[in-house]
């Protein structure tokens, strides 16, 4: 994601990849609402400017790769081409006048800047770029001289053109000044030959300084706000692009949070810790984003249960703290950096000093993963609106081990882990899954899912559990215990509201006892609190003899019979 613009009210704009990853599309993030924009028929769409009123601007690339200005007003995109231009790019919006600032290419192939209706052209320059006008009317940009050398400039409201001479300007492949706030602080992007893109911040009177996001390969600043905060994006060592916001801070704070710790994670399961205190609190979601993980697992020390988070979660998950280990699964080998301050708590500092990345040996047959030491079953409950407080129980029928998870927002993630890195799940294992309500009554069918190699590669199986609360069909289930003496429970489920009775017969077909259960709502009657109960007596209250009996569930639209055994 490339962050390129911001307002003074913490609104942001830029561009990101489309859902299919085929092209770039513009976005705004205003009042916490993330919205994407794709100009019809465009190869790519970009925003580079955002006004305090929420309007955005940039450009899009047509089918032939030519750029055309694009403006977002009242939620709608419209094309903007500077007069007589072949191509137009917009990089600024004035909050004072609403004028657009950018550059255009005319029919002769000459690039010039513009602001409002005014053409900006540096004397004798074959290329002039205009980027931004602040509230006092000072315009900043860059131009290229006939020798191909870049020069930043300031155009004052009195039309005084000030060209800034750089030391050894011929070393720069480019030098763009993108923004200036009302106190004269500048932000721009530079790149020298055989170097990576860098950000410069400061003023020409008091000097410019390089700004680099710790641990990044390159850093590009695009906009500066009145409070001195800078927005832009950086590229991490794994090739991904991330937006950043750099806010002014004291030198002490700045020094504290510029430490980096580079981590390498191998493909698959890894155990890591957080080596540095973060500028903002971390969560399972933010750790997954940094590490590129599709699963994050932690141990709840209070309950000794494992908690899991996957990207399907409706929230950010559990907090991530120093001094604790976390299990992550990454689809590919990853290099990334933690950025932050040294831990002040000695326990956290000691525990996080070496964020180990551990990928124990995994049994593979012909390159296919066959087992794993940590695994998550995650998914959603469908067909139910209020499921908070419900529980999902997952039983591995091979090992008889059970993992459970509380449901929140219809989402659940149940984890199983062996901290000695022994196998807990293998290809071919069958998971039996049931859902219980807040009273621990069963409210689902029994679902069965089989583990395959793809599940183990990702350390997660994602499932969907439907018909929660109301069965797909009525059914009489096996009594328990069976054989029994002297009492048993008879579970059943109803797909519709019905009057219900259970009749007991001996092997000759003689009626022994009828249990009239009355009118029952559709649902699951599996637990001892809800199932039909038989005390092993006949209609006269006498205990029946040992042997085989039959029990029959009857409703107006359904009937089913099963066998039970009494032993004495």
Name every residue whose Cβ is closer than 8 Å to that of residue 436 and which is 6 or more positions away in sequence.
Answer: 390, 391, 393, 442, 443
CA separation for the pair 520, 429 (Å, rounded): 37
Beta bridge partners of 233: 220, 243
Question: What is the pLDDT at residue 216?
Answer: 83
Return the CATH architecture of domain 475-566: Sandwich (2.60)
Beta bridge partners of 271: 327
Question: What is the pLDDT at residue 568?
Answer: 83
CA separation for the pair 266, 264 (Å, rounded): 7
Indicate the SS3 state at residue 459: coil
CA separation for the pair 217, 167 (Å, rounded): 24
Answer yes or no: are the C-beta atoms of 215 and 237 closer than 8 Å: yes
Nearest to 18 by CA among 41, 44, 56, 40: 44
CA separation for the pair 553, 517 (Å, rounded): 10
Q: What angle do CA 203, 208, 213 make, to 5 degrees?
A: 120
Q: Classify burial at 382, counting beta carbons within 10 Å of its beta carbon; exposed 0-12, middle 13-18, buried 19 or more.
A: exposed
Name every residue whose Cβ is closer than 8 Å to that of residue 167 and which is 6 or more positions away in sequence.
Answer: none
CA separation for the pair 415, 393 (Å, rounded): 11
Nearest to 323 by CA among 277, 273, 262: 273
Give me the DSSP letters along 334-370: EEEEEEEB--SSHHHHHHHSS---------EETTEE-
Per-residue confidence in pLDDT tens, the chain, 568 aa: 899 999 888 899 999 999 998 999 999 999 989 999 999 999 999 999 999 999 999 999 999 999 999 999 999 999 999 999 999 999 999 988 889 999 999 999 999 999 999 999 998 899 999 999 988 889 999 999 999 999 999 999 988 888 888 888 888 999 999 998 888 889 999 998 888 888 989 887 777 888 888 778 899 999 998 888 899 999 887 788 888 888 776 655 555 556 777 788 889 999 998 888 877 789 999 899 888 899 999 999 889 999 999 999 999 999 998 888 999 999 988 877 777 777 777 666 555 555 555 555 556 666 667 889 999 999 999 877 677 889 999 999 999 999 999 999 899 999 999 999 999 999 999 999 999 988 888 888 899 999 999 999 999 999 999 888 888 899 999 999 999 999 999 999 999 999 999 999 999 999 999 999 999 999 999 889 899 999 999 999 999 999 999 999 999 999 999 999 999 8
CA 507 to chain centre: 61
Question: What is the pLDDT at residue 440?
Answer: 85
Strand ranges inside 18-137, DSSP E: 24-30, 33-37, 44-50, 56-61, 67-73, 76-80, 85-93, 100-106, 111-115, 118-120, 127-133
CA separation for the pair 355, 271 (Å, rounded): 8
CA separation for the pair 197, 204 (Å, rounded): 20
Dmax (CA) for the chain in angstroms is: 114
Answer yes or no: are the C-beta atoms of 172 and 197 closer than 8 Å: no
Which CATH code of 3.40.50.300, 2.60.40.1120, 3.90.1300.10, 1.25.40.20 fits the domain covering 364-465? 2.60.40.1120
pTM of the predicted model, to two decimals? 0.61
Indicate the SS3 state at residue 32: coil
CA separation for the pair 424, 370 (Å, rounded): 11
Identify the helix (H) or strand (E) that includes residue 528: none
Supply 137's token pair. Answer: 């009317």
Question: What is the pLDDT at residue 538?
Answer: 95
Beta bridge partners of 498: 520
What is the pairing mode between strands 305-309 and 368-369? unpaired
**First-to-final CA distance of the chain:** 72
CA separation for the pair 129, 152 (Å, rounded): 9
Is 475-566 the same fold as 2-248? Answer: no
Question: What is the pLDDT at residue 226?
Answer: 83
Answer yes or no: are the C-beta atoms of 102 and 90 closer than 8 Å: yes
What is the pairing mode between strands 460-465 and 374-381? parallel
CATH topology of domain 2-248: Methylamine Dehydrogenase; Chain H (2.130.10)
Strand ranges inside 225-333, DSSP E: 230-235, 241-246, 259-265, 268-272, 282-283, 295-300, 305-309, 319-320, 326-330
Domain borders along the chain are 2-248, 260-352, 364-465, 475-566
CA separation for the pair 251, 307 (Å, rounded): 39
CA dist 435 to 6, 305, 382, 440, Å?
Answer: 46, 18, 12, 9
């Amino acid at each position: 994601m490339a962050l390129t613009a911001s307002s003074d009210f913490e609104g942001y704009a830029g561009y990101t990849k489309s859902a299919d990853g085929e092209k770039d599309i513009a976005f705004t993030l205003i009042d916490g609402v993330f919205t994407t924009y794709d100009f019809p028929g465009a190869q790519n769409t970009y925003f580079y400017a955002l006004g305090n009123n929420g309007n955005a601007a940039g450009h899009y690339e047509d089918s032939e790769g030519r750029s055309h200005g694009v403006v977002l007003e009242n939620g709608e995109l419209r094309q903007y081409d500077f007069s007589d231009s072949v191509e137009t790019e917009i990089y600024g919006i004035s909050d004072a006048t609403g004028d657009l600032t950018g550059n255009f290419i005319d029919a002769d192939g000459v690039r010039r800047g513009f602001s409002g209706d005014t053409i900006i052209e540096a004397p004798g320059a074959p290329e002039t770029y205009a980027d931004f006008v602040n509230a006092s009317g000072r315009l900043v940009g860059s131009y290229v001289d006939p020798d191909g050398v870049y020069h930043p400039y300031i155009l004052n409201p009195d039309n005084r053109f000030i060209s800034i001479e750089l030391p050894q300007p011929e070393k720069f492949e480019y030098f763009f000044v993108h923004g200036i706030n009302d106190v004269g602080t500048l932000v721009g992007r530079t790149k020298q030959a055989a170097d990576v893109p860098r950000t410069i911040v400061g003023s020409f009177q008091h000097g410019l300084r390089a700004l680099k996001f710790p641990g990044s390969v390159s850093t590009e600043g695009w906009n500066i706000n009145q409070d001195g905060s800078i927005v832009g994006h950086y590229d991490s060592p794994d090739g991904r692009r991330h937006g950043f916001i750099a806010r002014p801070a004291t030198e002490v704070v700045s020094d504290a949070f510029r430490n980096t710790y580079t981590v390498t994670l191998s493909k698959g399961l890894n155990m890591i810790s957080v080596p540095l205190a973060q500028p903002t609190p971390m969560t399972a979601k933010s750790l997954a984003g940094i590490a590129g993980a599709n699963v994050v697992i932690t141990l709840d020390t209070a309950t000794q249960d494992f908690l899991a988070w996957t990207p399907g979660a409706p929230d950010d998950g559990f907090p991530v703290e120093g001094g604790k280990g976390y299990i992550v699964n990454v689809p590919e080998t990853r290099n990334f950096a933690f950025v932050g301050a040294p831990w002040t708590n000695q326990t956290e500092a000691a525990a996080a000093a070496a964020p180990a990345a551990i990928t124990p040996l995994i049994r593979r047959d012909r390159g296919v993963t066959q087992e794993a030491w940590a695994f998550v079953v995650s998914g959603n409950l469908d067909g139910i609106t209020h499921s908070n407080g419900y529980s999902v129980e997952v039983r591995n029928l091979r090992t008889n081990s059970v993992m459970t998870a509380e449901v929140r927002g219809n989402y659940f993630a149940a984890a199983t882990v062996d901290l000695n890195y022994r196998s807990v799940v293998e290809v071919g294992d069958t998971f039996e899954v049931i859902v219980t309500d807040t009273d621990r009554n069963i409210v689902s069918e029994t679902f069965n899912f089989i583990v395959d190699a793809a599940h183990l590669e990702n350390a997660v199986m994602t499932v969907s559990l439907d018909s929660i609360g109301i069965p797909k069909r009525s059914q009489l289930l096996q009594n328990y215990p069976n054989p029994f003496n002297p009492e048993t429970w008879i579970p059943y489920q109803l797909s519709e509201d019905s009057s219900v009775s259970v009749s007991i017969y001996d092997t000759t077909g003689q009626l022994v006892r009828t249990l009239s259960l009355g009118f029952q709502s559709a649902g699951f009657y599996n637990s001892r609190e809800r199932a039909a109960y038989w005390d092993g007596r006949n209609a006269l209250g006498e205990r029946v003899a040992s042997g085989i009996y039959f029990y029959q569930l009857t409703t107006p639209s359904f009937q089913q019979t099963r066998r039970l055994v009494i032993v004495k």
